Amino acid sequence: MSQDQSITVRYSDNELAEFKAIINKKLGYARTDLKFYLDSLKEMSENPDNKVKGLDDGSTSTEVTRLNTLASRQQKHIKHLENALQRIESKTYGVCRETGTLIPKERLKAVPHATLSVEAKMSR
Structural domain containing residue 46 = 10-92
Within a domain: 67: yes
| Helix (H/G/I), strand (E/B), else coil: 114 | coil
Q: Specify if 112 maps to a domain.
A: no
Sites in the chain below the pLDDT cut of 50: 1-7
Residue 55 included in any domain: yes
Question: Is residue 100 assigned to a domain?
Answer: no
The verdict on residue 73 lying in a domain is yes
Q: What is the pLDDT of residue 4?
A: 43
Let me know if residue 109 belongs to a domain: no
Rounded distance between C-alpha atoms, residue 119 and residue 103, angstroms = 10
Q: How many domains does the chain have?
A: 1
Q: Which residues contact 118 (CB under 8 A, 6 or more apart)?
A: 104, 107
The whole-model pTM stands at 0.82
Q: Could you give the dihedral angle defined by the CA atoms of residues 78, 79, 80 and 81, in that order, rounded to the nearest 10 degrees?
A: 50
- Amino acid 124: pLDDT: 81
- pLDDT score recorded for residue 90: 96
- Answer yes or no: is 116 within a domain: no
Check residue 58 and give its pLDDT. 65
